[in-house]
Amino acid sequence: MKNYFDSINRIFNSYNSGKKISFCNYSNFTMLIFEIFLEYNFIENYFFLIIKKKKYIVVFVKNIYYIKFFSKPSRKISIKNKKINNFLLNTSLCIINTNLGLLTLKECKQIGISGFLIVLIL
């Protein structure tokens, strides 16, 4: 399983169990996803921690009600700019992996670029 799948699942499970803190394994891609989460107020804060040469990310969870993974390593789901619904734009946060980096669905619609749909968060 990819590292970012595991990290997002850990955050979601910690929120559902009533815990406000979560420890995740470090990766650059996960840090980019957490930066988007912080921008859209799904997490309060996160920071980097090193214990015995092992890297971790400590995340303080705010509110995540629903997570749906779309693209997986075995199955990539591409989304085109013309297929973006206004319903998805208004109700949720969708993270898309494009050639410009990680972008949200609204940013992709404004730029007019397509990519691989990674995760939908409510």
Per-residue model confidence (pLDDT) at position 88: 65
Mean pLDDT by 10 residues, the chain (122 residues): 85 93 93 94 94 95 90 83 71 88 90 90 88
- Do 3-61 and 67-121 fold alike per CATH? no
Per-residue model confidence (pLDDT) at position 89: 67
Residue 61: phi and psi, rounded to 5, are -85, 140
Starting from the edge strand earliest in sequence, which strands make up the sheet with 21-25, in order? 21-25, 54-61, 43-51
Q: Where are the domains of the chain?
A: 3-61, 67-121
- R_g of the chain computed on alpha carbons: 15
57 three-class SS:
strand
Run of H or E residues at 86: helix 86-91
**Domain 67-121 is found in CATH 3.30.1490.10:** yes
Assigned token pair, 86? 């206004």
Between CA 119 and CA 75, with CA 71 as vertex, the angle to 5 degrees is 165
CATH number of 3-61: 3.30.1370.30
Catalogue the long-range contacts made by 1-7 (C-beta closer than 8 Å, 24 or more residues apart).
Answer: 2/72, 2/73, 3/27, 3/29, 3/30, 4/29, 4/30, 4/33, 4/118, 5/69, 5/72, 7/33, 7/34, 7/57
